[in-house]
């Protein structure tokens, strides 16, 4: 049998990841070439890098494996973040300070404040601005960290923005919570009997 090849010589196989016909070996349950084994190691050891690359090309976050991700709403930022503060002046000459917290150079939180926090005329504007910045921060964490957006999270941020009864965030929460069963039950419990 002159046409048979020796059995001790490895035969080229097809890499399960890139599809190339190359020498492969087992790596975390895949038959992978050397380049793809390097990729598998990167994914395993630096998942945040993969998430950032994914979000560069996709609008939706990478879906976590069932049971391995924190429960919805538990995305937690580090205790210390880099940030920048910007001073701006509105058309009425009020100074505002916009602070942007960053993670890996990406904005993940926005805060706004003014030196006139005690000014009653500005209170409603401040609560409205707080609502805006809280919702923008939620969106930024979705974009850059893959945090899942939910209606309940939006309601929670709107409710936390309210500074007094019947301000705009309080009214928004009251109306929008009618569309959420859990929030509706909570609102009914808060009403005086």
pLDDT in single tens digits along all 193 residues of the chain: 445 544 455 556 899 989 989 888 888 888 899 899 888 888 878 777 777 787 777 766 665 443 334 444 446 788 899 999 999 988 888 788 899 999 888 899 999 887 765 666 677 778 888 899 999 999 999 888 888 888 999 999 999 998 888 888 999 998 998 888 766 676 677 666 6
- Quote the pTM value: 0.54
**With helix as H, strand as E and coil as C, how does the chain read?**
CCCCCCCCCCCCEECCCCCCEECCEEECCEEECHHHHHHHHHHHHCHHHHHHHHHHHCCCCCCCCCCCCCCCCCCCCCCCCEEEEEEEECCCCCEEEEEEEEECCEEEEEEEEECCCCCHHHHHHHHHHHHHHHHHHHHHHHHHHCCCCCHHHHHHHHHHHCCCCCCHHHHHHHHHHHHCHHHHHHHHHHCCC
């Amino acid at each position: 049998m002159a046409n048979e090849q020796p059995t001790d010589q490895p035969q080229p196989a097809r890499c399960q990841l890139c599809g190339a016909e190359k020498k492969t070996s087992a790596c975390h349950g895949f038959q992978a070439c050397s380049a793809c084994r390097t990729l598998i190691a990167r994914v395993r050891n630096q998942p945040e890098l993969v998430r950032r690359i994914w979000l560069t090309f996709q609008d939706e976050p990478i879906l976590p494996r069932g049971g391995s991700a924190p429960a919805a709403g538990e995305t937690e930022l580090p205790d210390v973040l880099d940030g920048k503060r910007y001073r701006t002046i509105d058309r009425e000459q009020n100074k505002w300070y916009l602070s942007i917290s960053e993670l890996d150079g990406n904005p993940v939180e926005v805060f706004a404040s003014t030196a006139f926090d005690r000014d009653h005329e500005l209170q409603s504007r401040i609560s409205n601005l707080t609502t805006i910045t809280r919702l923008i921060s939620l969106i930024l964490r979705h974009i850059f960290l893959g945090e899942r957006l939910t209606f309940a999270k939006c309601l929670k941020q709107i409710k936390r923005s309210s500074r007094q009864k019947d301000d705009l965030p309080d009214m928004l929460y009251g109306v929008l919570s009618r569309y959420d069963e859990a929030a509706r039950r909570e609102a009914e419990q808060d009403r005086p009997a």
